[in-house]
Structure 1
């Protein structure tokens, strides 16, 4: 009974034992009270909010605030203590752990990054080489990739964005960076809005934000779908993480365990890719 109680409560469960019936009842993620502050990646923000809403609904004494700001802010905030948990939509790099020692990363799912264009743009398929050349500035006109005779307006994310870091690693293969004249945006939502409003714009965002307001061209003939991302047929797939300073405990540990639980992974699978396929 003692090991079972210890392990279960560490996972965020409430354990009760009936001596008369000789039964143990385990209720997960209840009896949580206190305040939890979470922030960082705008990719993970809606997922974290959905998880927070579920936990607060079943725990009236629990308050969870979710902020955006980008993965860089999630890393800084987790290290400084501004956030109990930092949302980071990429893997931690050596420069991160050197500057902010003691951070521990916890993978909660995966995400595809998609290239997006305006819905009126006739371009429907790009090669990986064309993506590289457009975002690094070698290709400047849509006619060079089968589109109209019009200048390409490249959109990007702010320097601290985990989506930008992952895009440069995956799509630019760490051999280049997005051209300096690209217009930066501080969230996936603002990136999508900019491309939706400009017929000659191109950008990139989390697959979880993709909707009918923009169009995602195929990459080398591969459609931008969750199924293709899950099978790794889609070329741009990244890790979604949350970070803590040191080993998490208390509410932070319970929140992370919830995200990794079956119920939490169902939330992940609504817009992103779970740690493993759900039955």
Structure 2
């Protein structure tokens, strides 16, 4: 007759059963389910133009440079949100959260502390600047980081025969005043409008450079999108469609050449966008609070400005800020001295521009000084191989316009001379060769520039 179970027997059986249950659970469910949750080390909010492709690619590159391994990207809690995860040397899992719901959301997140970096496809607005004033100067060289140059592409169906439009025509189209393709010299009947949403820096840029400058507003019937890529896909599928996206999202659509004021029609090519001559070129930014202590935020900003970061900018369809020499075709309508330059020298893929209302270089230009110096040293062009050409907007006295344009070139000369450059020539061409209309301040600012040419 079997003996009764003792308390010790019951304890042994209980432990055995617990071990069997644990074994079953570990077999049925991966151990990762029970692993510690990843630590969020950085939060980025803002532009969909940056957040869709460029932002995640830069974060992955930065993580690699920081020594993280097994880096992967997973969807976030909402559409247009992602998490980038990696493991550090101790095996701890860390993540960067990236939300891409529009440039304005990035500045709101800086204010309420829900992000350490704001990604923006436009400069900070005056109201946002004032709203964040308690954190310091968000327009300082440290806080405002230009990480790439982009072109706002005006796209249409690939079969549409139209090739070029002016910014005035664009404004009339998107305001709903021009309603058919035939009115533009094309064909296809009624025009269907596709636009980004109100939170988007892409929309802000289009609104500022096209609609507002012509005194117009977006037509109420335009279809709105949070995503560049989804808008591009919709236009590509609609023979009557027209829309605007960032350069990296042209995809299967076809981009139109654009003219502004007296400028020639320009396609959104990498060279014309790099120099910001293309009428709808724009800068892409990361904004960081002055005094921000998050080491990951500072590491990402530094990585984005470096050679590896700028290589990623190019690989993701945007225009990097690396300096290159470009051969410019001499044209009969160029001023004689400029035509001579085009025939015998090459233009660098950078324009120096200035802060609004003064002769001080803007934040991008201050960083470009070092990029140009590095290029000149690497190519042995420090001694009398460089020509600076200044440009400006019209003045009542043409001689004054020429003088002001030369003074801008002299401001660049001062910075390059500090780096050991002995220039061949410094000249000013006044209001010649405009790249934008002089009828609005934005256009006049774009025309106030300094080009760098090398022999």
| TM-score range for the pair, normalised by the shorter chain length | 0.7 to 0.9
Distance 1:272 1:176 in 2: 29
**Structure 1 position 106, deviation (Å):** 2.1
One of 93, 102, 105 as aligned partner of 1:73: 105
Counterpart selection for 2:305 from 257, 260, 264: 260
Give yes or no for the alignment of 1:94 onto 2:126: yes
Distance 2:40 2:188 in 1: 58
CA offset at residue 34 of structure 1?
6.4
Q: TM-score if structure 1 supplies the norm length?
A: 0.81
For 1:64, the equivalent position in structure 2 comes to 96
Is 1:275 aligned to residue 281 of structure 2? no
Confirm whether residue 176 of structure 1 aligns to residue 216 of structure 2: yes
Deviation at 1:173, TM superposition (A): 5.0
* Deviation of 1:98 (Å): 2.8
Q: 1:69, CA displacement in angstroms?
A: 0.8
Deviations 1:220-268 (A, max 9, x none): 4322211121233311111111122333332111111111112111112
For residue 52 of structure 1, report the CA deviation from its aligned partner: 1.2
| Higher deviation after alignment, 98-107 or 191-200 | 98-107
Structure 1 stretches lacking a partner, 5+ long: 1-32
- State the match for 1:119 in structure 2: 158
SS of residue in 2 equivalent to 1:44: helix
Tell me how far apart the structure 1 counterparts of residues 132 and 122 of structure 2 sit (CA, whole Å).
16
Tell whether the 8 Å contact from 2:188 to 2:240 is kept in structure 1 after alignment: no
Contact 1:79 1:244 in 2 (8 A): no
Gaps of 5+ in 2: 1-38, 69-86, 89-93, 260-264, 325-374, 376-455
Query: How far apart in 2 are the matches of 1:95 and 1:137?
Result: 29
Q: Partner residue of 2:296?
A: 251
CA RMSD of aligned residues (A): 2.0
Q: Against the structure 1 CA distance between its residues 34 and 69, is the aligned structure 2 distance closer, same or farther, given a 3 Å change threshold?
A: closer
Show the 5 A alignment for 1:185-204. 185-204=225-244
Q: May I ask how many residue pairs the two structures share in their alignment? A: 246
* Structure 1 segment 27-176 matched on structure 2, within 5 A: 35-45=41-51, 46-57=53-64, 58-59=67-68, 60-61=87-88, 62-101=94-133, 102=135, 103=138, 104-174=143-213, 175-176=215-216
- Alignment of 1:226 onto 2:270: yes
Structure showing greater relative contact order (alpha-carbon pairs closer than 8 Å, 6 or more residues apart): 1
Q: 2: CA distance between counterparts of 1:109 and 1:63?
A: 24
Contact preservation (8 Å) 2:62, 2:299: no
Alpha-carbon separation, structure 2, partners of 1:195 and 1:70: 21
Question: What is the CA-CA distance between 1:107 and the residue it aligns to?
Answer: 1.8
Matched, 1:239 2:279: no
Match of 1:233, SS?
coil
TM-score (norm 2): 0.51
Alpha-carbon contact 2:192-2:241 (below 8 Å) kept: yes
| Distance in 2 between residues matched to 1:142 and 1:72, nearest whole Å | 33
Worse-matched range after superposition: 228-237 or 44-53: 228-237
